[in-house]
Chain A
Amino acid sequence: MMGDLRELSDEDLALRARTEPHGAFEVLFERHRGPLYNFLLRQGADAGRVDDLFQVTFFKAFRALPGFREESRFKTWLYTIAVHVLTDDRRATLRRGPTTEIRETMLVTEPELPRRDEIDLVKTALDQVPANHRRLFTLVRFQGLPIAEAAKAVGMTPAAAKVTLFRTTRRVGELLSPAREKMK
């Protein structure tokens, strides 16, 4: 039975989840957990926090699944939830005030520190980009969402998303170029 479900598209699965919530959602979970986990990881929180966000995102998606109306692709819908979860989390963090987490991030952004490898370099570059731009950038660059859908997920108009995306990409390039040369 699970085999049948695996052949269905995300959207059909989401509809099927109304009658067979666990089976269908299990398949959706299997399909999306990896990319979603990495998406959250790329937003700059530490691993422990990412675990929490990951669980919350899937839990919310599972709860909200009966309300899924096929107005967007399932993937976009899921990432929209993830973006909301991230926003909520960020707000909560701001309310709590600066934590060690933030201080660590600040330490990492010290330019003098030597870079371990390319990922560190990218991380450092992305840390200097506003959170929402970072989300858009990662959605398009790493999660493979079309710009229009990524825009929907982060709540921008497609045109604004394009401009933002391009500027973010350029900024990342700008931040990376000198660092790379230094490494060489």
Chain B
Amino acid sequence: MTCDQAELHMAELLAGEIAPAERRTLEQHLLECATCRDDFELARVGARVEWADVPVPHELIETTRASLREPPPLVRFFRWGTAAAALLGVAVLLVTSSRSIPPTPPTVAAAACASPRTDVLATMQDAVVGGLACKDEDGRPVGDLGLRSHEVSVEILDGVAKTTVEENFENHTDRRLEGTFTFPLPADASISRLALEVNGKIEEGTCLERERAKQVFESIVRRMQDPALLEWQPGGLFKCRVFPIEARATKRVIVAYTQTLPCFQGKMTYVYPLASEKTRTHPPGEVTINVLARFSGALAKIESTSHHLDVQRKDAHEASMTFRATNYRPNNDFVVALEPTEEEVRVVCHKPEGEDGYFACFATPKGGEARVPAKYTCVLDASASISAPRLEVAKRLVRAMMERRIPGDRFEVLTHSVEVTSSGEVDLRAANTFMDSIRPIGGSDVLKALEAAGPGEIVYIGKGAPTFGETETAKILEAAKGKRIRTIAVGSDANLGLLERLGGLMRITPNDDVDKRVAEIAATLGSQAVSELKVEGPNVSDVGGTRDVFYGERLVAVGRYKAAGPSKLLLSGRGYRREVDVDFPAKEEGHNPVRRLWAQRRLSDLMAQGPSKQAEITELGVKYQIMTPYTSFLVLESEQMWKDQQLKRELQKQDQLLARCTTADADLRTEVTRKVAHLLELAYRATEQRKYDRTTTLCDEILLIDPEYPVAKDLREHVEKLRHKEEYGNFTARKLDALKKLTDGDATPKIPEAEKLRIPSREQWGEVSKRLTEAVIKTESGTTVGENEGRLAVDRKLDTMKVDMAFENTKLEDVVAYLRDASGLNIVLDADVRDKVDPDKVVTYKASNLTLKDNLRSVIGPLGLDYMVTPDNVVLLTDPWKKALAEVATRDAGRRKDPLTGAEFISPTVTVKPVDPNNPAQARPGFSSQETARLDSWDVREQTFTRNVTASGAPITEALPMTVESFDYAQGIPLLGDIPMKGWLFKDGTTVDKPFGRFVGAGGTAYGLSRVEEEKAREEYRRYVMADFPGVDVEFATGSTGKMGRLQQRAGKGPLPASPDPDTVTNSTVLRFQGPQQRSADGASQTAGVEADMQIYVRQLEVQLAQIQELTTTVDEHRAKLAKSLNEKSMAVAELQYARQRAERLERDLSELEGKHVEMARDKAHLEEKVNAIVQNGANVNVAPKKALEGRVTAVALEIGLIVISIGKDDGVVEGDEFTIYRGGDIIARIVIDRADRKWAAGKIALKKGDPRVGDEVSNHIFISGPRPAFACETAVPVDESKAGLERIRTKMGLRE
């Protein structure tokens, strides 16, 4: 046993669960392994902990009780037809299992304990499509798998429907899953096939005896292989474990069940429960339902009442229909109504070789007596197990019955739970009132209710599940004997065992169309039931399925016959007798379902008789492959495994009929051909629909019939290829999808604080940024991008072109000419500078590998010239002053445009009004009386303005004496901004070098001005303008209208006082400022509005920008923090690893030490043994070790061999001690003390090498050579001897002089 195993067993031992054999092994291990022993001792301490129970507080009990008063959702989702549900107006309650409810793992052990429990109520299941609930390998549930396809094929033969359901589940996860397949079986159906996809192949299940199946299953599960076991569970829900379901793969499960369709008045209904909450929320990828109906008699009518489908008729007996849909969310079940025209009694036979024959007798008793008035007592089940929908159905049934009463009929309604309540004799209205007051509650005492009913016919409506009073079926039946009872079972979980035997059972199940069924049942009121119906005949045995039937109801009775040949079959019941001539065939391969039907009926009869028939049930179940409480379906991985398990597979004969009938019977051959053709057609269709799995299955079926059928072979191969191709395609598509998703996810980026920010639309951004860029470019270079490509080319050439130059005393003009030729640029010496620089001036210049620009500068710089590029792309060598002027002019031109609106700023206009128009001295070119001229530059301080009025365009600066008459800024125009402030000298000595300042917002942001500058500008404005005009004050209004500075005239609107400088006012020219609004009437105000809006917008953008910047900073900070944390984390991890390593090292050391300890302990034990041996030999080992003693020889009596030494008892010398006498490191003698005084001791010489002398050293140490080196000896030792001793010691110590 290893220590790991020991851990398991120690846990078992402490929990008292250990097996005796294991206990012994464990004990042995504990004896051997000290570590485990220690662990165990510790664990024993842990296992002995005590923690006494405390009582539950009383209030807690009460409050918990109170919280439980609300009734539990006992019955789940009782589905009726949609129409019915709407009519009933019943709230549908769906209970999904709460997360905290423990998942119920499909354990075999749990399933095994189920035994047939006809007495216990089965849980009502929502009859739905089978589901595959999965969990991954760590046991985490992943929910139900989606259905890729759901195929149902229904074969209705003489009213017996075989439904084969093929479900293809898709594992949508990336993990391998284990699933539990659950399949709800419709009431009175029996499972006849289970097949599972294993390694891409369909493996058929086989019905085995339950215990055996379980055994095999468990033995295989232990080996981690993948069998599946489908077992009978009470309640009609079947479960089976499915493993493995590979990641992203599909899994097919096939289940088939058989049921006899209820038939009344010649009408049959087949229902496939398709609609459910599950299929609505997770619709299957594809749904296909194929229905094939065939009757021995004619099939008068067949249609789907739930779906509009075309019916393909083959002949009078056979028809088929197909329903197909993709991503279908069914709202109702799939219902097929059939109306066969049948004789009253029809017998169908099946006789395989080597077996007794089977017959099925379909009888629909006709006739019956005329209805007579009677007393009816309707007993309604009102126990808590009746849900509201069921009760509603029961009520409707009572109403429907009462509506059909004939004169003289009397009705009474009884409800029963624990108590019985009677309505007394009632009419319809009173019955309604009575029934409305019913509230289902408590247990169900069926017998009490039956006893309470008076004479007349009793109609029992409910579940028939007694839970109170008398609950034993036999006793209830006994007590009810002699009463005329008919029973109507409501719900699929009714206790049919009791109700059937009480008499005249009819059922309403969730799959029924409630209204129709209610009407049908009500119609039977008053009609007689054929009771005690028997089917007899000579030569007939094992009859099953007989029961009470109403006239108009269809009875399916089955039996066996021994001898072939003509015979008679007698159907007899109370008041009914029919005799039918039958000719039992000697061999009949057709009508194969009869065989299964017989087994099924027979089994249900046997099961009703209880567990005593177990052996018989098991045998039948195995033989006919029908799942019963004692038989289970087992699916193994391969045929080999069946052989390995030495299991005989009972062939599913009835399902493989067609495979075997190869000869003789011509009809059958035709049928086979037809079947093959049909299958092939289906296969082709499936291929078209890309259902390759289906095609493969169909081809396999065909090949089962004819293994050499080439078409099927080819098709199968073809499909395999297609499938491969498709899978590859799917894979690629999935990949693409995933990639798409990756980018799709980014389509809506999340902007932090987006709700607070106002983000302009893409178009707005584009526009704004374009304009802003333009503005910036204009500010910086003075030209617009793309405006002048030639200019750019010139600049580029100047910057990049390299010219070698070597001139000596060359004329400047020639140098310029050379450069012009070399560069191809129009380099010109400005004519204006000719007076300053002589073009004939000679220069000496030499340079290589310099750019044109540098060369130019080097040549003309010393001459006091600079170069500039004119708008005509002429490189003009000119005066730097002129260049600067030109630059300012270009830049100003750029400034004159609003970067946002692109509109040109309109400078204020001046109106020049000569004081004396007749004075020619005041006449200035370009200024006339009342003339409005464009003001380009106006200097407030100097009170001069520059105007471009000369023909050459050169500015003329004139200082005009002027006085301001009035300001008219009523509309708050941005005039202030248009006052050029370049060169303004502030009081603090700084200057404004911006050509324009312009107030653009109430907050005071100015283009081209910083806030500080702006403030200065305001101040200056006040100081200069207002100081000059004391009657005027300036007020900067704030507000959201975007209107700027507003000037107000403090002293009314009258003329301003004269200029403070009387000298300049002599010529009293009046300047008048006029805002642009005034100038261009209405358009201007609009522009101002737009402009104002834009300004607000810009402000907002600025605020947003600030916010974004702030957020960016925060994000950066967080990022930094994160990085820091990560760093810390990695450091911590490193530390942890280091600590771990240290711990490991320590552990290793510890184990080493332990090893040493063990060794030492072993040595010790060894030594102890030796000691013991010594002790046994009589030695005294209990002598305490001596301390080291040293002394001198004080007296010597060699003649008697006695030596006296200088130490005695006080020093620790005792008699018997041995001392060695040394001299100079040499052993002289050894003495044994025989007398010890306090201060001295005397001993006899025991060993003598030389003669001891007085002064020699004594010691009880055992040295090889004396206690000390000789040179440390006392003087009593002769020097020569000491030297010799020293020498010897040295030699011994390996020292040389």
Contacts and interface: CB of A to CB of B under 8 A. Distances in A.
Interface of A: 1, 15-23, 25-26, 29, 33-35, 37-38, 41-42, 51, 54-55, 58-60, 62-67, 69-72, 77, 80-81, 84-85, 88, 118-119, 122-123, 125, 140-142, 146-147, 152-153, 155, 159, 162-163, 165-174, 176-177
B104 interface: yes
**Interface majority SS (helix, strand, loop, mixed), chain B:** loop
Given A19-B121, A70-B114, A71-B110, A163 B11 contact: yes
Q: Which of B74, B97, B465 has the most CB of A within 10 A?
A: B74
Given A66-B72, A71-B107, A34 B46 contact: no
B8 A174 contact: no
B15 A34 contact: no
A34 B385 CA distance: 29
B54 A38 contact: yes
B120 A15 contact: yes
Interface in B728-771: none
A18 B12 CA distance: 37
Interface string B87-120: 0000000000111111011110011011000001
Contacts of A58: 64, 67-68
Contacts of B1007: none
A63 B73 contact: yes
* Ranked 10 nearest A-B pairs via Cβ: A173-B46, A71-B110, A173-B45, A172-B46, A80-B102, A166-B11, A173-B42, A169-B46, A84-B100, A162-B11
Interface of B: 4, 7-8, 10-12, 14-15, 17, 39, 41-47, 49-57, 60-61, 63-65, 67-69, 71-76, 97-102, 104-107, 110-111, 113-114, 120-121, 123, 139, 383-385, 442-444, 465, 467-468
A35 to B, nearest CB: 7
Contact of A166 (B10, B57, B102, B384): B10
Contact of B46 (A15, A163, A168): A168
Contacts of B107: 71
A21 B47 contact: no
A176 B123 contact: no
A70 B106 CA distance: 11
Given A29-B64, A51-B60, A166-B14, A69 B104 contact: yes
Contacts of A140: 15
B43 A166 contact: yes
A147 B63 CA distance: 33
A165 B504 CA distance: 60
A59 B1116 CA distance: 50
B738 to A, nearest CB: 31
Contact of A66 (B17, B60, B63, B73): B73
Contacts of B39: 166, 170
A155 B65 CA distance: 29
Q: Which of B72, B99, B102, B120 has the most CB of A within 10 A?
A: B102
A5 to B, nearest CB: 10
Contact of B51 (A18, A119, A153): A119
Contact of A174 (B42, B65, B104, B139): B42
Nearest to A58: B64
Nearest to A123: B51
Nearest to A60: B100
Contacts of A55: 60, 63-64, 67
B15 A165 contact: yes
A167 B7 contact: yes
Given A70-B113, A147-B15, A59 B68 contact: yes
Contacts of A177: 42, 45
B384 A173 contact: no
Contact of A176 (B4, B45, B468): B45
Contact of A122 (B11, B49, B57, B113): B49
B12 A64 contact: no
Nearest to B122: A18
B73 A20 contact: no
A147 B12 CA distance: 8
Contacts of B53: 34-35, 38
Contacts of A176: 45-46, 49
B73 to A, nearest CB: 7
Nearest to B52: A119
Given A51-B60, A170-B42, A20 B101 contact: no
B101 A18 contact: no
Q: Which of B39, B45, B49, B73 has the most CB of A within 10 A?
A: B49
A36 to B, nearest CB: 9
B46 A33 contact: no
Contacts of B49: 122, 125, 141, 172, 176
Nearest to B57: A51
Contacts of A17: 72
Contact of B43 (A64, A142, A153, A169): A169
Nearest to B138: A155
Contact of B101 (A26, A60, A167): A60
B98 A29 contact: no
A64 B8 CA distance: 34
A178 B64 CA distance: 41
A20 B47 contact: no
A33 B442 contact: no
B407 to A, nearest CB: 40
Given A58-B64, A58-B68, A67 B97 contact: yes
A140 B43 CA distance: 14
Contacts of A153: 102
A19 B42 contact: no
B8 A163 contact: yes
B57 A1 contact: no
B369 to A, nearest CB: 39
A21 B384 contact: yes
B105 A66 contact: no
B68 A29 contact: yes
Contacts of B64: 29, 33, 54-55, 58-59
5 contacts: A54-B64, A71-B105, A71-B111, A88-B99, A174-B46
Contacts of A70: 110, 113-114
Nearest to B117: A15
B114 A34 contact: no
Contacts of A23: 443
Contact of B72 (A65, A71, A84, A165): A65
Nearest to A55: B64
Contacts of B74: 18, 21, 66
Contacts of A37: 54, 56, 60
Contacts of B56: 33-34, 37, 54
B43 A33 contact: no
Contacts of B73: 63, 66
A26 B53 CA distance: 21
A15 B234 CA distance: 12
Nearest to A85: B100
B139 A169 contact: no
B55 A34 contact: yes
Contact of B67 (A34, A59, A172, A174): A59
Contacts of A168: 46
Given A21-B74, A67-B97, A84-B102, A173 B51 contact: no
Contacts of B57: 51
Given A69-B104, A141-B49, A20 B44 contact: no
Q: Which of A20, A125, A163 has the most CB of B within 10 A?
A: A20
A19 B385 contact: yes
B51 A20 contact: no
Contacts of A123: 51
A64 B61 CA distance: 19
B47 A173 contact: yes
A19 B443 contact: yes
B107 to A, nearest CB: 6
A88 B139 contact: no
Contacts of B100: 60, 64, 81, 84-85, 88
A66 B467 contact: no
Contacts of B71: 21-22
